[in-house]
């Protein structure tokens, strides 16, 4: 049995080329995902200027934007509210007369 060295070398090169090409194709599909930019959480201290003012939906929206919160909710005495904590929600506490008494995130 005679060995054909040239043919064996060509086969080895072809196999190596195909293997390398396959690895490149597969690895290109595995790019690293960029993390989403971190969003600042609610900052209730930024909106403390509304304390002492009569509550209104417009006031709540202005406070929400100032605090950088995703949403705002009115917390009234004796009201029923979910107890889930959401660091991106501004809670606006009002007294029985509808005057804003405090703000917090959660």
Residue 75 CA to residue 77 CA, distance in Å, equals 7
In this structure, are 51 and 25 located in the same domain? no
Q: pLDDT at position 35, please? A: 59
Mark whether 94 and 61 lie in a shared domain: yes
Residue 7: domain span:
1-30
Cα–Cα distance measured from residue 68 to residue 18, given in angstroms and rounded to the nearest whole number: 54
Shared domain check, 93 and 58: yes
pTM over 0.95: no
Looking at the structure, tell me whether residues 48 and 26 fall in a common domain: no
User: Highest mean pLDDT range out of 5-9, 22-26, 93-97?
Assistant: 93-97
Does residue 36 fall inside a structural domain?
no
| In the predicted structure, residue 104 carries a pLDDT above the cut 60 | yes
Residues 25 and 48 grouped into a single domain: no
Task: Assign 40 a pLDDT band (cuts: 50, 70, 90).
Answer: low
Is the pLDDT higher at 80 or at 9?
A: 80
More confident residue, 63 or 37: 63
Ranges of beta strands (E only) in the chain are 71-75, 89-94, 100-105
Residues 54 and 91 in one domain: yes
Which residues, including other chains, have CB under 8 Å from residue 81's CB and lie 6 or more apart? 73, 75
pLDDT tens column, 11-38: 566 777 766 766 666 666 555 566 555 5
């Amino acid at each position: 049995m005679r060995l054909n060295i040239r043919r064996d070398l060509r086969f080895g090169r072809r196999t190596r080329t195909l293997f390398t090409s396959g690895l490149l194709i597969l690895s290109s599909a595995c790019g690293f995902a960029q993390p989403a930019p971190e969003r600042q959480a609610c900052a209730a201290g930024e909106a403390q200027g509304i304390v002492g003012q009569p509550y209104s939906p417009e006031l709540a929206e202005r406070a929400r934007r100032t605090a950088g919160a995703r949403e705002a909710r009115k917390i009234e005495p004796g009201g029923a509210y979910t107890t889930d904590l959401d660091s991106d929600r501004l809670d606006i506490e009002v007294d029985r007369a509808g005057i804003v008494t405090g703000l917090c995130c959660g």
